[in-house]
Structure 1
């Protein structure tokens, strides 16, 4: 995955300017960090082809903007912050519909097998025959993730996939996404607010501040008090837990100058 000179935003406003990210090898999960309005969602939408974007956006040497909408959708799976609607469909039907919309090449048996894998990997098989209108927000978010993962895209773009989930399901989701990209050789980019979860689960992190890339690389190298002060406006410490994993402890908010 290669992102160079990427600019993204809206008709009258640029949010991301000249974004350059070191090439991501297959099987990488990248955590996208930054405070609200830093540009995380705008960047993901631009990469997905759902928002205005320019610059080099390439996957396996192929320019994504040069592809047809159908071909791009087959390669890129995008999960927005908004939850799937509480429709009368059961969860299985909602995921089957998403699969059929993009993976018309799959036979009925192959589609069923892909759905079964997605539900099993996310630990939501018990929700398969529940109506979407009966599910909680967190459960619908899990089904939304299944709608993306069932297509087995080469690039996963997930915008705050853990926002409506409790601690157990946050860990389950990130673990499932990490396992999926490693097993398939895909690339995952996940916008996430929980810095400690990103440190623990992601291979690399990229920190945004005011629409530009502040730092990128392995979490232990990137997540420092200086970077957190500039990106989030907080005074913090980075210490090691009993297992040797870095942990961010926030002491106070810094004064706005």
Structure 2
């Protein structure tokens, strides 16, 4: 059995349009947080949806040796937690109830005490325990985004697929969220894939990154090896430099947009 996530020859898209074509991703081992980078329309969301079982897909998508497309929907949902870009809707439910409902929908094996403990851990890891009894309709977009992430994390899936989970958050919460996800996958041996626009945040917090361009994989591996001026020029169309900050962490500095070819 191959541990981790394997994607081979994966094509994904919609009924009349294929976005990802024959993508091969180096195996992603357990305990890894992978940052998915690329400009708008590069295929990041489409790839995550395809792995989650949404949309049209072909090819090998295997988790710990199990072919995900062959699983019944309920079994696949238990293994894979997917957070779309859209925020959880405002509702009369308090945040605790919203997360409890998500937990019960997938983790029927958890009794009341175990479910309560799982919710407390998720809220604590994300630093949102103070929101537990607030109604969803009273929360800001960023706060609802955090609750949506808690709805995924509380289920303890083997694979977390997070589509722009920091888009509505300020700088402090962006870093807190990505570090919380990274710590969770390392502690449990799960795998996290996070589509993210902030390249420097990905470099800082992710174990690996994969760069998409025009529906294909441009580069994948350790951030320091993958995020180079040449890759950024091809994927984002920018002239840039990669320098080290005072802590020795690579930092991308963008100088200008390159002319369109």
TM above 0.5: yes
Report SS of the residue matched to 1:23: strand
Q: Using the alignment, how far apart are the partners of 2:249 and 2:184 within structure 1?
A: 22
Which of 243, 252, 256 pairs up with 1:252? 256
Q: Which residue does 1:38 correspond to in 2?
A: 42
* TM-fit CA distance, 1:155: 0.0
* TM-fit CA distance, 1:52: 1.1
Pairing 1:19-30 to 2, within 5 Å after superposition:
19-30=23-34
- Answer yes or no: is 1:83 the counterpart of 2:87: yes
Pairing 1:201-216 to 2, within 5 Å after superposition:
201-216=205-220
Q: Using the alignment, how far apart are the partners of 2:175 and 2:55 within structure 1?
A: 30
| CA-atom RMSD in angstroms | 0.3
- Answer yes or no: is 1:150 the counterpart of 2:150: no
Pairing 1:122-141 to 2, within 5 Å after superposition:
122-141=126-145
Pairing 1:1-257 to 2, within 5 Å after superposition:
1-257=5-261
Deviating beyond 4 angstroms after TM superposition, the runs of 4 or more aligned structure 1 residues are none
- What's the TM-score once normalised by structure 2's chain length? 0.98
* TM-fit CA distance, 1:204: 0.3
- Show CA shifts across 1:176-201 (max 9, x none): 00000000000000000000000000
* TM-fit CA distance, 1:51: 1.4
- Show CA shifts across 1:50-104 (max 9, x none): 1111100000000000000000000000000000000000000000000000000
Q: Using the alignment, how far apart are the partners of 1:160 and 1:12 within structure 2?
A: 25
* TM-fit CA distance, 1:44: 0.1
Report SS of the residue matched to 1:20: strand
Q: Could you list the runs of 5+ residues in structure 1 that have no partner in the other structure?
A: none
Number of positions where the alignment pairs a residue of Structure 1 with one of Structure 2: 257
- What's the TM-score once normalised by structure 1's chain length? 1.00
Report SS of the residue matched to 2:185: helix
Report SS of the residue matched to 1:35: coil
Q: Using the alignment, how far apart are the partners of 1:204 and 1:40 within structure 2?
A: 15
* TM-fit CA distance, 1:163: 0.3
* TM-fit CA distance, 1:19: 0.6
